[in-house]
C-alpha cells in the first residue's frame, strides 16, 4: 500500500499518461483519441457502449456486495424515467463473479434500464475501474465526457446536472 499523499501508477496509467502527454505535445486533444469500444451485450439488445439512437450513455459498474450500489439503483431508475426520452441511455454493468449473486441483487433493485453482466470484469479493466460503484458518461460518439467514483445520496443533484449538461 502506498503512503498517504504519494502517487503510485500502474503500467496502464503510465501508458495513458504518456499517450496524453504525446497528444498534448503535438497539439491534439482528447477528442482526437479513438472512441472506446465495449462490445459486451446489454439486456436491451445493444452493446454496452454504442448502438441505438442515444445522445449519451451512462455506464455504471456495480456488484451485489456494494452498499453504495444499492443506493445508486433507485437514482438511476429516476434518471432513466426523467431523461431517457431526451436521449440518455443507462447501462449498469455487474461485476459479480457468480451470476446468482447478481440476479438476486437485480431482483431487489428492479432496474428499468439496461443491464450487462461481466463476471470476468474485462470491461472494468478497459476503463480502469478503481472503486464501486464507478460511473462513466459517454457521448454518442463513444467519447468519455466524465467519470464519477462512489455514490452518496448527496451526489444525486450534481450528477443529475452533469447528465443534463451532457444531453444539452
How many residues in the chain? 168
Tens of pLDDT, residue by residue over 21-70, are 443 333 333 445 556 777 789 999 999 987 778 999 999 999 999 999 99
Tens of pLDDT, residue by residue over 101-117, are 999 999 999 999 999 99
Residues near 82 by beta carbon (within 8 Å), at least 6 away in sequence: none
The neighbouring-strand residues paired with 117 are 94
Query: Residue 37: what pLDDT?
Result: 73
Instruction: Check pLDDT > 90 for residue 7.
Output: no
Our measurement of the distance from residue 25's CA atom to the centroid of its chain's CA atoms, rounded to an integer in Å, reads 29
Q: Would the CA dihedral through 165, 132, 111, 123 be positive or negative?
A: positive
Backbone angles phi and psi of 53, in degrees to 5: -110, 50
Q: Name the class of domain 38-167.
A: alpha beta
Question: How many H helices and E strands in the chain?
Answer: 5, 7
| Mean pLDDT on 141-146 | 92
Neighbouring CB atoms inside 10 A of 72's CB total: 26
Q: Rounded to whole angstroms, how far apart are CA atoms 21 and 70?
A: 38
Report whether 71 contacts 147 (CB < 8 A).
no
Q: Rounded to whole angstroms, how far apart are CA atoms 123 and 40?
A: 8
Query: Residue 36: what pLDDT?
Result: 73
Q: Which segments within the chain are labelled E, that is strand?
A: 38-41, 47-49, 56-62, 88-94, 114-117, 134-139, 144-149
Instruction: Check pLDDT > 80 for residue 143.
Output: yes
**What is the residue extent of each domain of the chain?**
38-167
Amino acid at each position: 500500500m502506498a503512503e498517504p499523499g504519494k502517487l503510485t501508477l500502474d503500467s496502464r496509467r503510465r501508458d495513458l499518461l504518456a499517450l496524453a502527454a504525446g497528444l498534448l505535445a503535438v497539439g491534439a486533444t482528447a477528442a482526437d483519441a479513438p472512441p472506446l469500444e465495449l462490445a459486451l451485450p446489454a439486456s436491451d439488445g445493444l452493446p454496452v457502449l454504442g448502438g441505438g439512437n442515444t445522445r449519451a450513455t451512462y455506464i455504471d459498474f456495480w456488484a451485489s456486495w456494494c452498499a453504495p450500489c444499492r443506493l445508486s439503483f433507485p437514482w438511476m431508475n429516476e434518471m432513466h424515467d426523467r431523461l431517457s426520452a431526451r436521449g440518455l441511455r443507462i447501462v449498469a454493468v455487474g461485476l459479480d463473479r457468480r451470476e446468482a449473486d447478481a440476479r438476486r441483487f437485480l431482483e431487489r433493485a428492479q432496474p428499468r434500464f439496461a443491464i450487462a453482466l461481466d463476471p470476468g470484469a474485462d470491461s472494468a479493466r478497459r476503463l480502469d475501474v478503481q472503486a464501486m460503484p464507478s460511473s462513466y458518461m459517454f457521448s454518442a460518439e463513444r467519447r468519455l465526457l466524465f467519470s464519477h467514483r462512489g455514490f452518496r445520496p448527496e451526489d444525486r443533484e450534481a450528477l443529475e446536472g452533469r447528465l443534463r449538461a451532457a444531453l444539452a
